[in-house]
């Protein structure tokens, strides 16, 4: 070992740099594989969307009719459900907007309030 460092003209071994470069390339390759698999998953998910290859679906009339019926039914039921919810909410708002009814006094409280009215006058004392 002392000989290696004692010779100033000897070039140090570059094998560690090569190993480091190879490991970085492996990491990069793994990252690319992960990104590719995620992209494949997104494409598979997007292909399930009705708008994927819409022009080809138009060429096949049976599929297009089935698609229109399915989508039309779904939109109609969604609209009806939302209309029902809107009516329920509107009726709840009407209930909240009505003024509150005055509470009924019990007979004992009513008698007490009449007794106090007897002694009240409209005259003010200066």
Q: How is the chain split into domains, by residue range?
A: 1-48, 58-94
Give 125: exposed, middle or buried? Use CB within 10 Å, 0-12, 13-18, 19+. Answer: exposed
CA-based torsion, 87, 92, 97, 102: positive or negative: positive
Look at phi and psi of residue 12 and say left if phi exceeds 0, alpha if psi is from -120 to 50, else beta: beta
pLDDT tens string, the chain, 126 residues long: the values are 455 555 556 555 565 566 677 788 888 899 999 999 999 999 999 888 877 777 776 677 777 788 889 999 999 999 999 999 999 999 999 888 888 776 666 555 555 555 555 555 555 554
Backbone angles phi, psi at 8, to 5 degrees: -75, -20
Q: How far apart, in Å, do the first and last CA atoms of the chain sit?
A: 116
CA distance 33 to 49: 25
Find out whether 58 and 65 touch, Cβ atoms under 8 Å.
no
Structure tokens at 46: 């997007």
**pLDDT value for 66:** 84
């Amino acid at each position: 070992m002392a000989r290696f460092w004692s010779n100033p003209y000897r070039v140090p071994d570059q094998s560690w740099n090569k190993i480091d470069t190879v490991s970085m390339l492996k990491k990069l390759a793994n990252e690319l594989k992960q990104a590719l698999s995620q992209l494949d998953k997104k494409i598979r998910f997007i292909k399930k969307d009705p708008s994927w290859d819409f022009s080809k679906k138009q060429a096949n009339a049976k599929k297009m009719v089935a698609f229109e019926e399915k989508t039309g039914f779904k939109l109609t039921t969604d609209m009806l459900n939302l209309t029902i919810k809107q009516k329920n909410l509107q009726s709840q708002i009407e209930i909240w907007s009505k003024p509150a009814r005055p509470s009924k006094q019990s007979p004992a409280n009513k008698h007490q309030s009449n007794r106090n009215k007897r002694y009240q006058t409209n005259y003010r004392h200066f």
